[in-house]
Structure 1
Amino acid sequence: MGQFIEDQIGMISGAVGPVVFVKGNDGKGIVRSKPTPSKAPASPKQQQTRNKFALMKHFTGLLYPILKECYTDFLGKDNARDAVRSYYMAQVIVQEQDAWRIAYEKVLISTGRVRAYVPVSQSRDAQQVVLHWQETTQQPFAESGDLLSVLLYAPDTEDFVFYKACTTRAAGTHTLELPEALSTLPLEVYTTFSTATETDYAYSTYLGRMV
């Protein structure tokens, strides 16, 4: 790494051939070798980490339009994207023998301080899913006008449907009409509430797999 002194014209920046001109933490100009990608094969541990990250990125990528809106508690991170990635890497992508899998019971589709969905019962037939829940309108952070949202996800095909703001907390029950593509598939089911303005959400509730 070399160092050079700025003149009145200003500091050079960027790459020139095999070297890069940058500004150091002290404000001085620095010349260093341009980094080159390593051609060494990944170690088994490195490859495991890459596989884990790839599965996390693929799964959260499918749901990210939902997650980025419904993560209203960033879990100590700076934004929803970092919160999602950190949580899924730590909790959702788990190792089973020599492979990574998704722990569907750990999936969070939303975070926030709204009171969570408390299930009473749920059932399905070929065309419908019927939900019943505790209204909890007398509890903190629960309002009768809070809005229910439901995610149905089919692991076999990676198809899903998101019923956004489909009814209120006070309703206590709701029937979802299934699209044809999901009518015969096992479904992972997640529910959450948001405020009426949809600016804050609850930590989502996993209702299990419906077959």
Structure 2
Amino acid sequence: MGQFIENQIGMISGAVGPVVFVKESNGKTILRSKPTPSKKPISAKQQQNRNKFALMKHFTGLLYPIFKECYTDFLGKDNARDAVRSYYMEQVIQTEQEALRIAYEKVLISTGRVRAYIPVSQARDAQQVVLHWQGTTQQPFAEAGDLLSVLLYAPDTEDFVFYKACATRVAATHTLELPEALSTQPLEVYTTFSTAAETDYAYSTYLGRLD
């Protein structure tokens, strides 16, 4: 069913059957054909791009509450969501022998100008992860009260835990208690610092996989 709408200056808008009345920027109304879905099969490259975008949306969707707060440099984009999607499409979701993979070493959980985490050592047992880092404040954008946050992510199950603001920079060591769901899983580990007010973050540091 179509409907004609005539406004106060005599312009008509709406759609009837296969045609649409469209008002242009100059104020004139023109007729256009309704767009119809293409029946042309998509190419292999188009399908791969769709699959890549779907994997990016799935993975970033899991962690987006973290990204939304911790991306304080938008990487030239207008907001955190656009920054995350652009970066993950370009850097993190990769094609390897025609299969898609997540490059965990490229994952960024935060961005900003705070001095990054500099690892010294990390180790785990079934119930704990123990971290040691350089607690120096001699470099720019490094303050004693900067706060450590840590993401532990289990790729096999997609379970994760985010330890937000769990230690200060000068503490130089911290022990994380693992939840039961992560106690037997291989873990991808990411760390970052924020200011004491949590208004700016560092580019996160990837510590590798802990088995």
TM-score by length of structure 1 reads 0.92
Residue ranges of structure 2 left out of the alignment (5+ in a row): 1-5
Indicate the SS of the match to 2:86. helix
**Distance in 1 between the 2:193 and 2:86 partners?**
23
Aligned match of 1:100: 100
Partner Cα separation in structure 1 for residue 194 and residue 38 of structure 2: 47
Identity %: 87
Tell me the amino acid that sits aligned with residue 153 of structure 1: Y
Q: Does 1:86 align with 2:114?
A: no
Aligned residue number for residue 68 of structure 2? 68
Report what 1:154 is aligned to.
154
- Say if 1:20 and 1:169 are closer, same or farther in 2 by CA, change over 3 A: farther
Where does residue 121 of structure 1 map in the other structure?
121
Q: In the superposition, relative to structure 1, how do residues 66 and 12 fare at CA in structure 2: closer, same or farther (>3 Å)?
A: farther
Structure 1 counterpart SS, 2:109: coil
Q: What SS does the corresponding residue of 1:38 show, helix, strand or coil?
A: coil
Q: Which runs of structure 2 are paired with 1:43-58 in the superposition (5 Å)?
A: 43-58=43-58
Which 5+ residue runs of structure 1 have no aligned equivalent?
A: 1-5
Q: Any runs of at least 4 consecutive aligned residues in structure 1 with deviations exceeding 2 A, and if so which?
A: 6-31
Could you say which residue in structure 2 is the equivalent of 1:3?
none
Give the superposition deviation at 1:15: 4.1
Count the aligned residue pairs: 206
TM-score normalised by length of structure 2: 0.92
**Counterparts in 2 of 1:14 and 1:146: CA distance versus 1, 3 Å:** farther
Alpha-carbon distance change, 210 to 35 in structure 1, aligned in 2, over 3 angstroms: same
Q: 1:193 to 1:16 in 2, by over 3 A?
A: farther
> Please, what is the CA RMSD of the aligned residues?
1.7
Residues 96-147 of structure 1, C-alpha deviation per residue, up to 9 Å, x if partnerless?
Answer: 1011000000000000111100001100000000001111312111111111
**Segment of structure 1 superposing worse, 177-186 or 18-27:** 18-27
Distance 1:184 1:10, change over 3 A: farther
Q: Distance in 2 between matches of 1:76 and 1:208?
A: 28
Could you tell me how far apart the structure 2 residues matched to 1:22 and 1:143 are?
A: 58
Superposed, 1:175-186 pairs within 5 Å as 175-186=175-186
Deviations 1:28-77 (A, max 9, x none): 43432222222222111101111111111110011111111111101001
